[in-house]
Chain A
Amino acid sequence: MTQRTKLFLLNHGPLLTTVAIFLLAYVIGGQLYPAMQKPQVFFNLFINNGSLLIVSIGMTFVILTGGIDLSVASVIALTTVASAVLLQNGLPPLVVMPLMLLMGIAFGAVLGGFIHFLKVQPFVVTLMGSFFARGMAYIISLTSVTIKDGFYNDLALTPIYIPFVPNAYVYSYALVGPVLFLVTIYLAFFTRFGRTVYAIGNNEQSARLMGLPVGRTKISVYAFSGFCSALAGIVWSIALLSGYGRYAPSMELDAIASVVMGGTMLTGGVGNPVGTLFGVLINGTIVSLLQFNGTLSSWWTRIGVGALTLVFIGIQSLFYVRRKTSG
């Protein structure tokens, strides 16, 4: 029994630590600033970090295969601009949204194809993708484009009240992240695709020798990340009702930091989307704490996220070494 508990702790240690740190930060925040105890503050985390949650989930899969995707933030910017301009030209939203998602998938698949077929480092290829998407966003429009579409307006401004919690609401676009999260849980743990992702991350060579479809899976992982980025871009454009090439600056860093804080190892093969959810929540909690404090300046967010990333890497390697030695 104790052996079992020990194994459980060793296997899920980083994730449990992430959850514990999130709860701790939240409870301490609640003690310091009583206004933070309101349930709405918790739901605001999802409203404010909707896009971040979505791209981080896509990034989790990429990192699980041992790769990295630096293009996510630029694809968000490109999606916001492209959809804003298309809507301005009178295309119906129900055409624009699938179009954007298709663009994201195609974009990711092309990057994945480069990585797989040309055997170039993911870092370099997705960097190119990042340059390309950001540049395209500016080529489409150098200035911010507002969205005046009725459907987008409705999505942006209609609150959905949470059952059983008085006076708490989210906007419809904040639900996209949690729904995607549930889908990816299924994807990661209960599908052949998810298991192949883990196998590739642990050892690509043995995955190939086992006869797993390495190439197909790798390309689909990047395509999925592209899909998530486009989805996050749509969410972003709904939330801000505009499109601009400067949106989501260095969000890829926030996404990577959230994934790492969630216990996923950048070498691949270890981690899961659940941790990522809590990584994003920690990121959001830090921002909320700064906002509630009011006197601390915004740059402490970045310093805090950097410091926490370091702490989590330390915790991870500790658990990793322990697990290796205990067999």
Chain B
Amino acid sequence: MTRQKLLARVRESRLFWPLTALAVILLFDALFAPGFFRIGIIDDPVYGPHLYGNLIDVLNNGAPLMLVSIGMTLVIATSGVDLSVGAVIAISAAMGAVLINPALGDRLITNDILTADTTNTPLPLIILADLAAGTLCGLWNGFLVSRARIQPMVATLILMVAGRGIAQLITNGQIMTIYYTPYFWFGNGFILGLPVSIYIVAGVALLAWVLVRKTALGLFIESTGVNARAAYYAGLDERNIKLLAYTFCGFTGAIAGLILSSYVHSSDANNIGANYELDAILAVVMGGTLMSGGRFSIVASIIGAMVIWAFTITMYTFGVPADALTAAKAVLVLLVILLYSEFSQRLLGRWSLRKGPSHDAAH
């Protein structure tokens, strides 16, 4: 009886499905990719001794997606969606790259000025500008959704279409290469042998968790997502809650842009953060948050993002070309759809009922 209850509790937990998916992928690796779990220590001349290996790559490469999916979780929980995160990443990255450019504002630009390892803008200011640009984008989305009352998908579509254009406008259409070494620390640095980016994710996740679980904000977000009008009649200003969710999503997108541009040492307005909006939505859905809003779990979304990257790195290990990877990803989405659809949920529910010891006519 208690065993049955425990099983039911485990199955009903938000973390069950994403953790199962992660376990299945890792099990697959353990069986078919010997050496996938090998973690070594490398003494890097720049960043000192640190760990390396596929699992570290999952964490480091997946960090931007994890960040974005934290923000996306809150937005989806208010029954919205933010399609513009990829564009926000591009804008934030473009902002950083332009400000770092040591020849900023100069008329005469020579190659050694451009490729010098210096900048005229202090690093904190660059970071601040990055974050401000992304947060502003989020604020714009939130304004359109909460004040102008435009459907979330359309409202964020506007920035999705225009955003990469704006990013190109900022960089003047160039693919900016970054030569300023301190900037690389965010995407390539290590603290205590682990990537810096993972600490950033932990920090943002903790911030979000404290905000939504230690204050009433999480409850407000959920009630807005379940029924915005009812939340309004209950005395909640659902407009500001939506505004906050979208702004926070823009903020996380900005950090993701910072890490990504730091990781690849450049900002390419057309390609940086491509498909991130879709991956983030996938991560959130995998984490069990319904697209229609309501109950959400930040940790489950982060694990969802990990699943996507564990899957990606696994595919790379098997030599699948990056372009063809999307087909494999489609299979992943298909599995998610099948698992989470009402039909299969009903089937699962019936199955567990039948196995349950105390099922009677009342059910």
* Contact A123 B150, CB 8 Å, known A139-B327, A299-B169, A305-B161: no
Q: A128–B330 contact, CB under 8 A?
A: yes
Q: B81–A123 contact, CB under 8 A?
A: yes
Question: Contact check: which of B173, B327, B334, B340 meets A135 at CB < 8 Å?
Answer: B327
Interface centre among B153, B161, B329, B340 (most CB of A within 10 A): B161
Q: A257–B341 contact, CB under 8 A?
A: no
- Name the residue on A nearest B277 (C-beta): A127
**Minimum C-beta distance from B341 to chain A (A):** 4
- Name the residue on B nearest A125 (C-beta): B337
* Contact A117 B154, CB 8 Å, known A125-B337, A138-B327: no
Does A300 have its Cβ within 8 Å of any Cβ on chain B? yes
Question: Contact check: which of A68, A121, A128, A314 meets B291 at CB < 8 Å?
Answer: A121
**Minimum C-beta distance from B333 to chain A (A):** 4
**Minimum C-beta distance from A312 to chain B (A):** 10
Chain A 303-314 against B: per-residue CB contact (8 Å), 1 yes, 0 no?
101110110011
Chain A 133-167 against B: per-residue CB contact (8 Å), 1 yes, 0 no?
01110110010000000000000000000000000
CA distance A65 to B169 in the complex (A): 36
Does A33 have its Cβ within 8 Å of any Cβ on chain B? no
* Contact A118 B343, CB 8 Å, known A127-B278, A266-B151, A309-B158: yes
Residues of B within 8 A of A253 (CB): 157, 160-161
Q: A131–B151 contact, CB under 8 A?
A: no
Does A114 have its Cβ within 8 Å of any Cβ on chain B? yes
Q: B165–A131 contact, CB under 8 A?
A: no
Interface centre among A114, A138, A253, A260 (most CB of B within 10 A): A138
**Minimum C-beta distance from A106 to chain B (A):** 16
Interface segment out of the listed B185-193, B208-216, B318-326: B318-326
CA distance A125 to B338 in the complex (A): 10
Does A32 have its Cβ within 8 Å of any Cβ on chain B? no
**Minimum C-beta distance from B95 to chain A (A):** 15
Residues of A within 8 A of B151 (CB): 266-267
CA distance A68 to B291 in the complex (A): 15
Does B168 have its Cβ within 8 Å of any Cβ on chain A? yes
**Minimum C-beta distance from A120 to chain B (A):** 5
Q: A142–B158 contact, CB under 8 A?
A: no
Question: Contact check: which of B153, B168, B169, B325 meets A266 at CB < 8 Å?
Answer: B153
Does B166 have its Cβ within 8 Å of any Cβ on chain A? yes
Does B162 have its Cβ within 8 Å of any Cβ on chain A? yes
Question: Contact check: which of B169, B281, B337 meets A120 at CB < 8 Å?
Answer: B337
Binding site for A on B (CB under 8 A): 81, 144, 148-151, 153-154, 157-166, 168-169, 173, 269, 278, 281-282, 285, 291, 321, 323-331, 333-334, 337-338, 340-344
With A253-B161, A299-B169, A314-B148 known, 8 other A-B pairs at CB within 8 A are: A135-B329, A138-B327, A142-B323, A299-B165, A301-B165, A305-B161, A309-B157, A310-B158
Binding site for B on A (CB under 8 A): 68, 114, 117-121, 123-125, 127-129, 131-132, 134-136, 138-139, 142, 245, 253, 256-257, 260, 266-267, 297-303, 305-307, 309-310, 313-314, 317
